[in-house]
């Protein structure tokens, strides 16, 4: 819990460092906000070091962070909307005037520069948030895939109860790569053993349906 709070405070500090010139600590390869962030490696580290409840909690935290970042982007656009309106009004007024053209053109140039500067600033800030959202979404998608793995035994049992043998085999085949890759992790080992037990029941069920072998000829 303390670690999660520290991560959140660091992320908030990084989010506003561009506006207030706050110092930002060096970012590791596991830092979601870092340039070297690797979603697959990050999730692998999580599942090897965190129990299932913490994985679920982390997935929920990522969803909230994404919503906060999207809200920040909307607020940033809204806060600068009036600046664009004001600059546009100035340009329109100058089009309707012919007096003091030199002064008016100077104001027009200034307004255009202000619009250009504001646009660049907003684009840079929005770009940072888009990248961060993409990274968070990448981690969340991987965690959702893991939730399918943890539900595998229940899915297999349901498929067998509904006599959906083809679906059960498809579930098993699609999860085999992950279970083999993380078979040494206790949580995955338990899922794999339970799933193999269920698949054993399925094989017996299918075997019982086969006609008995013809051992002799009449």
Q: What's the angle, vertex CA 126, arms to CA 122 and CA 132, rounded to 5?
A: 155
Model pTM above 0.75? no
- Residue tagged 């539900």 (tokens): 151
pLDDT per position as a tens digit, 115-161: 778 777 777 777 777 777 777 777 677 777 777 788 888 988 998 88
Sort 149 into a burial class: Cβ within 10 Å, 0-12 / 13-18 / 19+.
Answer: buried
Neighbours of 143 (CB within 10 A): 20
pLDDT per position as a tens digit, 196-208: 898 888 888 888 8
Residue 131 has, within 13 A of its CA and on its CB side, a CA count of: 13
Torsion on CA atoms 162, 165, 166, 171, rounded to nearest 10 = 90
Residue 19 has pLDDT above 50, yes or no: no
What are the structure tokens assigned to 168, written together? 């059960």
């Amino acid at each position: 819990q303390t670690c999660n709070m520290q991560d959140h405070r660091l992320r908030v500090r990084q989010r506003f460092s561009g506006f207030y010139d706050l110092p930002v600590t060096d970012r590791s390869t596991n830092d979601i906000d870092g340039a070297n962030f690797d979603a697959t490696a990050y999730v692998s580290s999580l599942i090897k070091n965190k129990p299932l409840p913490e994985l679920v909690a982390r997935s929920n935290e990522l969803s909230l962070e994404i919503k906060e970042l999207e809200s920040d982007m909307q607020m940033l656009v809204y806060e600068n909307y009036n600046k664009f309106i004001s600059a546009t009004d100035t340009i329109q007024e100058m089009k309707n005037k012919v007096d003091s053209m030199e002064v008016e053109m100077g104001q027009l140039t200034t307004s255009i520069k202000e619009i250009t500067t504001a646009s660049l600033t907003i684009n840079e800030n929005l770009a940072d948030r888009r990248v961060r959202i993409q990274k968070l979404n990448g981690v969340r998608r991987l965690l959702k895939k893991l939730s399918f793995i943890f539900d595998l035994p229940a899915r297999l049992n349901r498929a067998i109860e509904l006599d959906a043998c083809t679906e059960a085999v498809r579930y098993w085949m699609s999860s085999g790569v992950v279970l083999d890759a993380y078979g040494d992790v206790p949580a995955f080992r338990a899922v794999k053993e339970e799933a193999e037990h269920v698949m054993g029941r399925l094989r017996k069920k299918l075997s019982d349906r086969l006609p008995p072998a013809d051992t002799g000829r009449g």
